[in-house]
Amino acid sequence: MRLTLCLLAIGLIPLTGCEVLDPDPDDDGLTTEFEESIGTNPRLADTDGDGFDDALEVLTYFSPRNEEDYPYEGEYSRGPLMSSSDWDEYTADDGWDQGDISRGWKVEDQFGQELKLKRFFGNVILIDMSAEWCGPCRVAAETLDEEYDDRKEDGFVVIQLLVDGLQMGDRNPDGERWINEFDITFPLIEDGEFHASQRYIPSGSFGIPNYTIIDREYRIHTWYQSGGMPPLEVIDELLEEDRPEVEYSLPDNAAELYESLGIEPGSWIY
C-alpha cells in the first residue's frame, strides 16, 4: 500500500523523498524487510558498531546485534547456533561421561577475545590440556597446528589449555612463548588456574597431554590422558558426520552477497 502511494506521489514530490523505493537504504546488502526480520537496523550498516557490517556478520554466523561477537583472527570454524530455548533444553544435562553434553565455559584467548565453548557447536572440538614442561605435549605441539589447519574447513577446532609454565607446578604458563615456539593459530588459553581445565578431569587426577574430544552434537565423545598424539583417526571419523541442522535465516540474496564479500557459501570460517 505504501509502495502504491509512493509511486503515485512520484510526479508530485522529488524522487529522493520517496525512500520506500529503496529496499536497502543503508546499503549494507540486506533488505529492510530482512533486517526487520532479524532485528538489525535497516538504516545503519553496522548495527552493533563492532566494525563489521550486518550482512558480513549474518553470512558468517556472527551476531550483528552483539558488539562482542564478530569475526576474529584465528579464523575459527563456527556455524549457526540454536535458538536460546532449544539451547537451554539441549544443555540441561550437566554430567561428565562419554556421550554427555559438554559443559560450557568462557575464557579469553591469545587475541584478547572472549572464547565460549558454546560458540563452536557443530564442530568437532579437541580440548588439549598441555604444559610447557611436558615433553610429550611439546612433541604433539610440533605438528598440531598443521593437523588443525588441514581440517578446519571441515569443522575442526582445537582449543589448547596451557596449565603450567616451564617447571612442573608453575602456575604461570607463558602463552606467547608457546605460540611463538610452535606457530599456534588455534585458540590458546593460559589456564594456570584450571578455570576451564577442571572440567576435563573427570576422575580427579590427571596426566598430560590430556585430550577431550567433543563431537558435532556438543557431547563429550572420548577422553584420553595417556600421552602421545591426539587420536586423529577418531577426529576424522567424527568429522565425517553431518553438521547438525540449525534453523538460521539467510537473506534471499545470500548467494550474491557471498560472492561480493568473497566468502565461500556455507563456509564456517571467515
Closest approach of Ca ion to the CB of residue 50, in Å: 4
Closest approach of Ca ion to the CB of residue 16, in Å: 17
Interacting positions 10-69 with Ca ion (CB under 5 A):
24, 26, 28, 30, 40, 46, 48, 50, 52, 54, 63, 69
70 part of the interface to Ca ion, by CB under 5 A: yes
Cα distance between residue 165 and residue 215, in whole Å: 30
| All three cell numbers of 143 | 605438528
Asked if 269 contacts 77 with a C-beta cutoff of 8 angstroms, the reply is yes
Helices (DSSP H) in 109-231: which residue ranges?
135-151, 175-182
Q: Which is nearer to Ca ion, 60 or 160 (CB)?
A: 60
| All three cell numbers of 170 | 608453575
Q: Which is nearer to Ca ion, 60 or 110 (CB)?
A: 60
Closest approach of Ca ion to the CB of residue 71, in Å: 9
Closest approach of Ca ion to the CB of residue 54, in Å: 4
Q: Which is nearer to Ca ion, 120 or 211 (CB)?
A: 120
Cα distance between residue 133 and residue 128, in whole Å: 15
**x-or-dash string of contact with Ca ion, 185-204, rule CB under 5 A:** --------------------
Q: How many residues bind Ca ion (CB under 5 A)?
A: 13
Strand pairing partners for 159?
127
Closest approach of Ca ion to the CB of residue 84, in Å: 17
Please state, as a whole number, how many other Cβ atoms lie within 10 Å of the Cβ of residue 110.
21
Please state, as a whole number, how many other Cβ atoms lie within 10 Å of the Cβ of residue 51.
10
Closest approach of Ca ion to the CB of residue 31, in Å: 6
Q: Which is nearer to Ca ion, 24 or 75 (CB)?
A: 24
Q: Which is nearer to Ca ion, 22 or 88 (CB)?
A: 22
| All three cell numbers of 146 | 598443521
The residues, ordered by sequence, that sit 6+ positions from 29 with a Cβ below 8 Å of its Cβ are 53, 54, 55, 251, 253, 257, 260, 261
What is the residue whose three cell numbers read 597446528? 145
Give residue 179's Cα distance to chain centre: 20
Closest CA to 34 of 252, 247, 266: 252
Q: Which is nearer to Ca ion, 97 or 256 (CB)?
A: 256
Q: Which is nearer to Ca ion, 69 or 190 (CB)?
A: 69
Asked if residue 209 has a cis previous peptide bond (ω within 30° of 0), the answer is: yes
Cα distance between residue 41 and residue 56, in whole Å: 14
Closest approach of Ca ion to the CB of residue 20, in Å: 13
Q: Which residues bind Ca ion (CB under 5 A)?
A: 24, 26, 28, 30, 40, 46, 48, 50, 52, 54, 63, 69-70
